[in-house]
Amino acid sequence: MDRSANMRAIRAKNTHPEMIVRRLIHGMGYRYRLHKNDLPGKPDLVFASRRKVIFIHGCFWHFHGCERSHSPKTNTDYWLPKLKRNRERYVETEAALSDMGWSSLVIWECQTRNIASLSRVLKRFLSKHTLGEDNGISHAISRT
């Protein structure tokens, strides 16, 4: 019963790592839309004019591989396929977005602990040019 209550309390939107990223990006002067359900994967942050999206992934839920993404010790027949499928789903989502001309970036929960490094990653991603920008000069679409 306790585990069920814990699982129900875990949010999909407005998580602590997401709020850190949102505050940081807003402070940089960028504006965005949230959780657009008309794009594959319902990205956490959408920069429509730049055709860029950001996903903020929890290390456990997306099997990142860092110290926060430990393998479950109980009920592994349920959890391991579920976590593996989460990871596979993101690969499919990224490919679909790329096919549509969108660039995507994943920010991992563990990355939100180092704000200076996270800030550099975000600035680099958001300042990169994509096709159609920079007065007609074409640049390769980045698959970050």
Tokens coding 72: 């479950």
According to DSSP H, which parts of the chain are helical?
2-9, 16-27, 76-99, 115-127
Q: What is the pLDDT of residues 49-91, one digit of tens each?
A: 999 999 998 887 666 767 766 677 788 888 888 888 888 898 9
**What average pLDDT does the structure give for the chain?**
80
pLDDT band (50, 70, 90) for residue 126: very high
CB atoms closer than 10 angstroms to residue 53: 26
- Contact (Cβ atoms closer than 8 angstroms) between residue 47 and residue 123: no
Q: What is the pLDDT of residues 16-55, one digit of tens each?
A: 899 999 999 999 999 999 989 899 999 999 999 999 999 9
Q: Degrees (nearest 5) of the Cα angle 33, 119, 10?
A: 55
